[in-house]
């Protein structure tokens, strides 16, 4: 055994590389090329920024690679910036690959300069060289490398060009164990002299020097960096106050003399430094700089005042159709599969608690959750296409004005539509679609309000109530429901942004990246990893809650003497008919071939079974709860039966119809029972169109189904918001239903004479 080489192996295995750079510069594409399928996605603790990690084998060694979120600068305003900066400073990766979009060299170098000011082991991947070329740019990377003092490797991440040279340069860099001294540039004499004073104080007091170079700390103080100042305040409040005083003095001086701010001076100096570099023959343009490129030509239509909104509508409706139409078949397969497992388990296990737990609790629960998988996959595929091609930024641009009025963001439109903005969506992928929003407050407000939309699971409830009470106004009622859901969601968002999530809207300033053709590999990886995250969740939390809801609707069970009573009743019914008839029931499965006597018996038996199920439901925890709150719920027009159904609806909104059926003693609520339920309600003295409408509004707005709640908790990074959505939505729904029901009753609208 060669000791030396194992030792080297060990050391190398610990190496970590970070990929950093501007948004859309090609980090993830390069990451995918480097790691292939050896990657996984997680979240940074407590926040929702995706953390992509993978490994790559280079020269026989295993190297960890982290794909950092795209940033424009090393300030600490956006959560992406904080994540990237903290990673670079705290985790101290052995090498940082700065992916620079060569076609936008100047602005990309602004971040590069800040990396150099931080003093980290840097290697530049000069990416998008193909685009730079078509734009007539000729870049002398050797010269750039010499001036910056770091390796610069031209790459085209999309076709893996330059990947090997890049990795060779990185390996070479990691093999020297050298110290990286921060780049020092001049920010003008005023700033420089303030900086010097501060550095002296920082070094004397050994202030934060274990984490940051003194110059970096001073620079961040001058830039008024909230995160740095908070850290300093904690460490040494006296010195921190002194540093702030120096900053203040400088700020006042700059305001008086040049009418500018320290952070502006610093930024301008960085750009000045970059310009000086570029002027040394690094870039040459071979043709007209003002030429219109393909992207500009496309934009002439795509964001045009008239054709823009039309195209956008077509794209959004198309995305919706794509998601829901294509996922229909796979969803059916999954459902059929779980029905089969359901039937298998039901026949394999003896009737009783265990059967009920496995069949109704576990199999139906997991089946219900996995049924969403095709939906989530297709939606993320669609969204990935829009994201990678650059279209999503145009949507945000065109709709910003509208959504901003409600404290949201132009990109909120996608989650809303997917959740049911066009009737029949689903809030689970909708909440996940809110990932396209980069501004945190707007994003939270969006994902908390999308459950108000008219999702597909609410439709059977509406359909049943409409056919019972509004047969002649089906289309109008459906349209009204969708319109009301939009209005409510937007108003709720506004309310949230004025109260619990209040604060200035995040600055919009953003880039409309050039249109690019997405790569199949990128789309595939992106779609799969998001879907996988959802499936993993289904295996754990969601299974637990599904069993909990099952237990609530099953326990406590009917006392034995009651069960006995129903059994005896059925027995008596059997013996009232000739034995041949009863026999017929036990062998023939086909309904139509039964004799009329046997059919009559079957009906009576199922009537008794229905009564038993109703009694059992009434006896269960959910039933008792429903009865207990009848005193309050009747303000909105709901009796205990409705209450139980609404509790069941927390598992999935479709369950409302079947539970209501059980509560009305309609056993086996499947096909015909749907009609019989709506008939039963239509003739029940407890019901009238007003109560039905009030229930429809309640179903539209009350607590999201638990799968959505879990998704909200996950996507917002905190269970707090999951619970909040349950309570907040239920309160709103109840208030609306009470107002509608009471006003209607008072005015005599929708009640029976």
Q: Does 446 bind Mg ion (CB under 5 A)?
A: no
Cβ closest to ligand GTP, residue 68 vs residue 370 = 68
The verdict on 81 binding ligand GTP (CB under 6 A) reads no
DSSP reduced 3-state for 113: helix
Q: What residues have CB less than 8 Å from 432, skipping those under 6 apart?
A: 376, 379, 380, 530, 534, 711, 715
List the one residue from 20, 88, 95, 128 that touches ligand GTP (CB under 6 A).
128
Closest CA to 411 of 442, 382, 380: 442
Q: Which of 407, 420, 451, 522 binds ligand GTP (CB under 6 A)?
A: 522
Q: How far is Cα 516 from Cα 156, in angstroms, rounded to an integer?
A: 13
Contact 338, 364 (CB under 8 A): yes
Identify the residue among 54, 93, 121, 308 touching another protein (CB under 8 A): 308
Number of residues that bind another protein (CB under 8 A): 43
Counting Cβ atoms within 10 Å, is residue 647 exposed (0-12), middle (13-18) or buried (19+)? buried
Looking at 281-289, 368-376, 518-526, 542-550, which segment touches ligand GTP (CB under 6 A)? 518-526
Cα–Cα dist 670/657, whole Å: 10
Give the Å distances, CA to CA, from 235 to 75, 106, 238.
20, 37, 9
Provide the β-strand partners of residue 284.
Answer: 138
Least gap, CB of 323 to ligand GTP (angstroms): 21
Residue closer to another protein (CB basis): 259 or 590:
259
User: Is 156 among the residues that bind ligand GTP (CB under 6 A)?
Assistant: yes
Is the Cβ of residue 226 or residue 628 nearer to another protein in the bound state?
A: 226
The full 3-state SS of 117-144, as one line of letters, equals HHCCCEEEEEECHHHHHHCCEEECHHHH
**Site membership for ligand GTP, residue 388 (CB under 6 A):** yes
Q: Provide the token pair at 429.
A: 């992928």
Residue closest to 29 by CA, chosen among 686, 724, 419, 518 = 518
Report the nearest approach of ligand GTP to the CB of residue 285 (Å): 19
| Residue 110 near another protein by CB under 8 A | yes
Q: Does 85 bind ligand GTP (CB under 6 A)?
A: no
Find where tokens 């029931």 sit.
585
Residue 181: CB atoms within 10 A of its CB come to: 11
Whichever of 224 and 519 has its CB closer to ligand GTP, that residue is 519
70 is a contact residue toward ligand GTP (CB under 6 A): yes
- Of 28 and 412, the one with the shorter C-beta distance to Mg ion is 28
Angle between helices 373-389 and 307-348 (to 10 degrees): 160
Residue whose C-alpha is closest to residue 407's, from 498, 484, 508:
498
Our CB check for another protein shows the closer of 287 and 593 to be 287
Residue 401 in the binding site for another protein (CB under 8 A)? yes
> Using the rule CB under 6 A, is 27 a contact of ligand GTP?
yes
- Closest distance to another protein from the beta carbon of 743 (Å): 35
158 binds ligand GTP (CB under 6 A): yes
Q: What is the DSSP letter of 236?
A: -
Binding range to another protein, per CB under 8 A, among 260-268, 558-566, 681-689, 710-718:
260-268
Supply φ then ψ for residue 502, to 5 degrees. Answer: -75, 165
SS3 388: helix
Closer residue to ligand GTP (CB): 158 or 247: 158
**Please, what's the largest Cα pairwise distance for the chain?**
109
Task: In angstroms, give the least distance from the CB of 68 to another protein.
Answer: 16
> Of 57-76, which residues contact another protein (CB under 8 A)?
72-73, 75
Reference 302, options 393, 385, 394, 392; nearest CA is 394
DSSP label of 472: G
Q: How far is the CB of 156 from ligand GTP (least distance, A)?
A: 4
Which range in 23-31, 474-482, 606-614, 659-667 contacts ligand GTP by CB under 6 A? 23-31
SS3 state of residue 61: strand
567 touches which of Mg ion, ligand GTP, another protein, none (CB within 5 to 8 A by kind)? none
In the complex, what is the shortest distance from the CB of residue 384 to Mg ion, in angstroms, rounded to a whole number?
A: 11
- Least separation in angstroms between residue 324's CB and ligand GTP is 25
DSSP label at residue 519 = P
Q: Which stretch binds another protein (CB under 8 A): 316-324, 416-424, 511-519, 732-740?
A: 511-519
Smallest separation, CB 657 to ligand GTP (Å): 43
Residue 157 near ligand GTP by CB under 6 A: yes
CB proximity list for 430: less than 8 A, separation 6 or greater: 415, 416, 418, 419, 420, 450, 451, 453, 455
Q: Is 519 in the site for ligand GTP (CB under 6 A)?
A: yes
Residues engaged in binding ligand GTP (CB under 6 A): 23-29, 70, 127-128, 130-131, 156-158, 388, 516, 518-519, 522
Residues engaged in binding another protein (CB under 8 A): 72-73, 75, 77, 103-104, 106-107, 110, 135, 224, 259-261, 263-264, 267-268, 271, 295-296, 299, 303-306, 308-309, 393, 397-398, 400-402, 404, 507-514
Residues engaged in binding Mg ion (CB under 5 A): 28
């Amino acid at each position: 055994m060669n000791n030396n080489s194992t030792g080297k192996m060990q050391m190398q295995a610990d190496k970590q590389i970070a990929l950093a750079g501007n948004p859309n510069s090609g980090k993830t594409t390069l990451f995918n090329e480097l790691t292939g399928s050896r990657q996984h996605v997680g979240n940074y603790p407590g926040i929702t920024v995706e953390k992509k990690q993978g490994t790559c084998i280079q020269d026989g060694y295993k190297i960890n690679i982290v794909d950092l979120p795209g940033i424009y600068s090393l300030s600490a305003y956006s959560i992406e910036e904080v994540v990237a900066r903290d990673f670079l400073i705290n985790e101290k990766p052995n090498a940082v690959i700065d992916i620079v979009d060569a076609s936008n060299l100047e602005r990309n170098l602004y971040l590069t300069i800040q990396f150099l000011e931080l003093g980290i082991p840097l290697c530049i991947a000069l990416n998008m060289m193909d685009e730079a070329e078509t734009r007539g740019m000729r870049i002398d990377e050797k010269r750039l490398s010499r001036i910056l003092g770091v390796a610069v490797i031209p790459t085209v991440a999309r076709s893996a060009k330059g990947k090997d040279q890049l990795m060779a340069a990185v390996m070479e860099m990691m093999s020297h164990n050298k110290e990286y001294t921060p780049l020092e540039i001049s920010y003008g004499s005023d700033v420089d002299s303030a900086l010097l004073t501060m550095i002296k104080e920082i070094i004397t007091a050994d202030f934060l020097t274990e984490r940051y170079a003194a110059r970096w700390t001073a620079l961040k103080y001058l830039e008024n960096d909230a995160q740095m100042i908070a850290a300093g305040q904690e460490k040494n409040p006296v010195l921190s106050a002194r540093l702030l005083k120096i900053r203040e003095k400088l700020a006042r001086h700059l305001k008086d003399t040049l009418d500018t701010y320290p952070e502006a001076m610093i930024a301008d100096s960085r750009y000045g430094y970059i310009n000086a570099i570029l002027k040394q023959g690094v870039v040459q343009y071979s043709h007209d700089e003002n030429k219109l490129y393909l992207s500009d030509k496309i934009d002439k239509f795509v964001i045009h005042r008239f054709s823009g909104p039309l195209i956008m509508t077509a794209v959004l409706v198309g995305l919706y159709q794509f998601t829901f139409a294509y996922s229909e078949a796979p969803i059916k397969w999954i459902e059929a599969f779980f029905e089969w497992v359901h039937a298998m388990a039901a026949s394999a296990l003896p009737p009783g608690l265990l059967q009920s737990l496995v069949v109704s609790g576990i199999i139906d629960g997991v089946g219900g959750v996995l049924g969403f998988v095709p939906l989530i996959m297709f939606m993320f595929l669609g969204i990935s296409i829009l994201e990678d091609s650059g279209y999503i930024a145009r949507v945000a641009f065109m709709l910003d004005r509208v959504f901003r009025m409600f404290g949201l963001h132009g990109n909120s439109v996608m989650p809303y539509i997917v959740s049911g903005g066009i009737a029949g969506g689903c809030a689970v992928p909708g909440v996940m679609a809110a990932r396209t929003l980069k501004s945190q407050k707007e994003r939270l407000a969006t994902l908390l309000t999308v459950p108000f939309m008219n999702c597909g699971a609410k439709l059977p409830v509406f359909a049943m109530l409409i056919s019972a009470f509004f047969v002649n106004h089906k289309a109008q009622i459906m349209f009204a429901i969708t319109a009301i859901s939009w209005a409510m969601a937007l108003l709720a968002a506004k309310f949230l942004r004025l109260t619990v999530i209040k604060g200035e809207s995040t600055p919009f300033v953003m880039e409309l990246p050039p249109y690019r053709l997405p790569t199949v590999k990128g789309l595939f990886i992106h779609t799969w990893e998001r879907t996988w995250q959802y499936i993993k969740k289904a295996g754990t939390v969601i299974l637990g809650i599904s069993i909990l809801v099952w237990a609530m609707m099953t326990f406590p069970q009917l006392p034995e003497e009651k069960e006995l009573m129903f059994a005896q009743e059925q027995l008596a019914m059997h013996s009232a008919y000739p034995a041949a008839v009863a026999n017929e029931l036990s062998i023939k499965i086909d309904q139509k071939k039964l004799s009329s006597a046997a059919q009559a018996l079957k009906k009576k038996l199922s009537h008794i079974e229905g009564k038993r199920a109703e009694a059992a439901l009434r006896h269960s925890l959910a039933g008792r709860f429903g009865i207990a709150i009848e005193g309050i719920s009747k303000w909105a027009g709901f009796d205990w039966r409705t209450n139980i159904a609404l509790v069941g609806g927390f598992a999935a909104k479709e369950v409302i119809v079947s539970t209501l059926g059980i509560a009305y003693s309609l056993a086996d609520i499947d096909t015909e029972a749907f009609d019989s339920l709506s008939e039963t309600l239509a003739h029940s003295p407890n019901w009238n169109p007003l109560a039905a409408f009030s229930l429809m509004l309640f179903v539209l707005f009350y607590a999201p189904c638990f799968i959505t709640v879990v998704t909200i908790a996950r996507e917002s990074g905190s269970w707090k918001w999951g619970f909040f959505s349950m309570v907040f939505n239920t309160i709103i729904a109840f208030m609306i239903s009470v107002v509608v029901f009471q006003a209607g009753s008072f005015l005599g609208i929708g009640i029976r004479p």
